[in-house]
Amino acid sequence: MLTSYIRAAMARAQIRYLAEDQTYFGEIPGLEGVWADGPTPAACRETLREVLEEWIVVSLAQHLPIPPLDGIELKVEQVA
């Protein structure tokens, strides 16, 4: 499920070149705070994936909502 969520999120990734900084900027629309930059599109995408993974871990640990993507929901179920 986690891998599927990451794939779905990365499929939404938007990478663009910032001429003024001569770098690439990437973000995933709908996932606030998930963004990265890098010297190449590939480096930016790799960093963006790492940021996404960390964002998921922190969100789960702090019981913060994670928007569903492609019908995939990530949440911590409370155990009695």
Report if residue 66 sits inside a domain: no
Task: Answer whether residue 79 is part of any domain.
Answer: no
Confirm whether 68 is domain-assigned: no
Cα(18)–Cα(67) distance, integer angstroms? 28
Where residue 56 sits, what CATH number does that domain have?
3.30.160.250
Strands (E) located in 1-80? 14-18, 23-27, 35-38
Domain region containing 44: 2-61
Q: What is the pTM of this model?
A: 0.91
**How does pLDDT run across 2-18, given as a tens digit for each residue?**
999 999 999 999 999 99
Residue 69 lies in a domain: no
Task: Specify the number of domains making up the chain.
Answer: 1
Whether residue 33 is predicted with pLDDT greater than 90 in this model: the reply is yes
Nearest-angstrom CA–CA distance, 60 and 17: 31
**How buried is 6 (Cβ within 10 angstroms: 0-12 exposed, 13-18 middle, 19+ buried)?**
middle
The pair of structure tokens assigned to 52 is: 């996404």
Give percent above pLDDT 70 in the chain: 96
Q: For tokens 């990734």, name the residue.
A: 13
In a domain, 78, yes or no: no
